[in-house]
Every structure is written in C-alpha cells, then in structure tokens.
Structure 1
Amino acid sequence: MGMEVISEGPAASPAPDATISDSEAIYNATFMIREALILATQ
C-alpha cells in the first residue's frame, strides 16, 4: 500500500508488500493504531 516508511521491527525486511506475512501485517496495523492513539490524545 505504499507504506515503505517502516524502518524497525519485524517489518524491516526488504520483502515486497505482496509477500508480507500475517505477523508483519498485524505488527504494522498495531503500530499505526498506537501512533494514531498517541496523536489523538495529545
């Protein structure tokens, strides 16, 4: 989905989005949700 800004965590592999694993997808979604909550509560 064009989100190539992840530079740490389990999603730091150079694999293309088409081969992203479920664990990486869950990690990315959790990270984005956590960031959104942090921004929303400031």
Structure 2
Amino acid sequence: MSEYKHGSMDTKVQEKTFDGFLRLVSWGAGISIGVLIFLALANG
C-alpha cells in the first residue's frame, strides 16, 4: 500500500463535476419553480 501525503491529490475533476452538479440542480429548481408558478396562475 502506498503512503498517502495530505494535500497531494489532484481534485480538479471532482471540482468540475461538483460545479456541473450544482448548475444542474440550480436549473432544475428554477424550472420547477417556474412550472409551479405557471400552474398557479393557470388554475387561478
């Protein structure tokens, strides 16, 4: 087993994936809120 050195891991791929995930969640939440507002106005 190799010896681990703290702070030596490259996390650029994980950071890029997490940024994409946050962007996806933000878009999904915005679209969901927009649909709910539309439904509330249409059924008003």
TM-score tier, shorter chain, comes to 0.5 to 0.7
Deviation beyond 4 Å, 4+ runs, structure 1: none
Percent sequence identity over aligned pairs: 12
TM superposition score normalised by structure 1: 0.52
The structure with the greater share of residues assigned to helix is 2
Count of residues in Structure 1 that have an aligned counterpart in Structure 2: 24
RMSD: 1.8
TM-score norm. by structure 2 comes to 0.50
User: Match for 1:41 among 34, 37, 43?
Assistant: 43
Which of structures 1 and 2 has the larger relative contact order (alpha carbons within 8 angstroms, sep 6+)?
A: 1
- Give ranges in structure 2 of 5+ residues lacking alignment: 1-19
